Amino acid sequence: MENEIKSLNELYNRIKPALYSKKIELCKMGLSYIKEEDIWNYLSKNDWANSKDLSLFDMVSDIMHLEKYKIEDYMIKVFKNSHRELLTEEESLL
């Protein structure tokens, strides 16, 4: 197969446009602190962890259909575990 993905890094780069698009969408919803890596990490740990033979289509679909509250809850846990403060957009402008 000519388009076979050989590494996790290559896979990440292949779906990065979808991750970026979702990041922009979430930013417009007020979640400007979320990065592409955060979306990747959430889906890798939660939706894709036990999946076998995921296609690029499935992965992009999961990215685009990720609900705001799910990534928001995940990020709250990440910030609590890292002892970093989660600032709202208004607070970060001060």
Give me the residue spans of the domains in the chain. 8-92
Quote helix, strand, coil % in the chain, to nearest 5.
65, 0, 35
Query: How far apart are the two ends of the chain, measured CA to CA in Å?
Result: 53
pLDDT tier at 40, thresholds 50, 70, 90: very high
Q: Which two tokens stand for residue 7?
A: 């590494």
The predicted-structure confidence for 8-36, as pLDDT tens digits, reads as follows: 889 999 999 999 999 999 999 999 999 99
Does the pTM of the predicted model rise above 0.85?
Answer: no
The predicted-structure confidence for 42-92, as pLDDT tens digits, reads as follows: 999 999 988 888 899 999 999 999 999 999 999 988 888 775 555 554 444
Write the burial class of residue 34 (CB in 10 Å: 0-12 exposed, 13-18 middle, 19+ buried): buried
* pLDDT value of residue 4: 79
